[in-house]
Amino acid sequence: MALRYEVELSYEVRNGPADFIFNVQAARTPRQWVGWESLATTQFVPLQEFVDPPSAARFLRLQAYPGELVLRYAAKVQLQHHRQHPADVQEIRVADLPGTVLPFLYPSRYCESDKLNAFAMAQFGSLWQGHARVQAICDWVQRHVAFASGSSSGTTSAVDTFQERRGVCRDFAHLMIALCRAVNIPARFTTGLDYGADPALGPTDFHAYVEAYLGGRWYMFDPSGTAIPMGFVRLASGRDAADTAYASIFGDVVPGRRMLAIHAEAGPDGVVREPYRTTDAISSSDI
């Protein structure tokens, strides 16, 4: 499966210099290959790239000066998902988890799993352990939280969403992660683009989804139900949104327009394969 996506971000730097850290480049993993990519900015400034080994996230740092700054990035990405029958995907005991997975069991800034422990154990604690239990958590969040653009802020947490029962993809993801961790299932926050989302929800945008560690790998879940997981191009993953912002800005800056686009293209064999919804357990990351 091959996907092409484009990102254009515009900012007005009012007083400079201002520092930016972007996370919009496609991650390179054993299951996601970047065939080609291009990156340009309207200001001629040095670009510094750093890769976070545990998550494969690519951080781009630059310093901009007063005036307009536009960042444009495009890439063609090939994805080869691991697919498994859900009944064959089991949970792993805490005692047997790899050390790198352990941080995703703990409460974090936006995923207060400790505060939701009693509810999660009562609602999901007795369910058969495995992919089906995680899917039950995902389904519960999707049924009980309403998608409402502009209903939350950058400080809205899982507990806030649990109480208010509305939010955007970021909030759905935080709540599902907190509920998973509350029943001892490692879960992390992952970012991509909302491939297949209903245009009525707005133009193409960045998307937050969930990965749960089951059966020795990270499996994908989309608790908002607004997009097609098979079409998610991986950008970054972390404990919650605090680790995965597409842009972090340090300075007097006014955000401007934002344009994103994604579509399927022909793969190396010349065949266009459109992402589609599936009941299989799917994973796009071995790390």
> What confidence score (pLDDT) does residue 15 get?
86
Rounded Cα distance, 144 and 202, in Å = 22
Q: Is CATH 3.10.620.30 the right assignment for the domain spanning 82-243+277-283? A: yes
> What confidence score (pLDDT) does residue 206 get?
95
Shared fold status for 2-80+245-265 and 82-243+277-283? no
Q: So where are the chain's domains?
A: 2-80+245-265, 82-243+277-283
Q: Which residues of the chain have pLDDT under 50?
A: none
> What confidence score (pLDDT) does residue 237 get?
96
Structure tokens at 225: 């139900």
Query: CA-CA distances (angstroms) from residue 261 to 36, 158, 232?
Result: 16, 29, 12
pTM, two decimal places: 0.95
125-132 long-range contacts (CB < 8 A, ≥24 apart) are 125/183, 129/90, 129/91, 130/86, 130/87, 130/89, 130/90, 130/91, 130/214, 131/86, 131/87, 131/89, 131/90, 131/214, 131/215, 131/219, 131/281, 132/86, 132/87
> What confidence score (pLDDT) does residue 213 get?
97
Q: Tell which CATH architecture fits domain 2-80+245-265.
A: Sandwich (2.60)
Q: At what angle do helices 131-144 and 169-182 cross, to 10 degrees?
A: 140
> What pLDDT digit, counting tens, does each position of 173-188 carry?
999 999 999 999 999 9
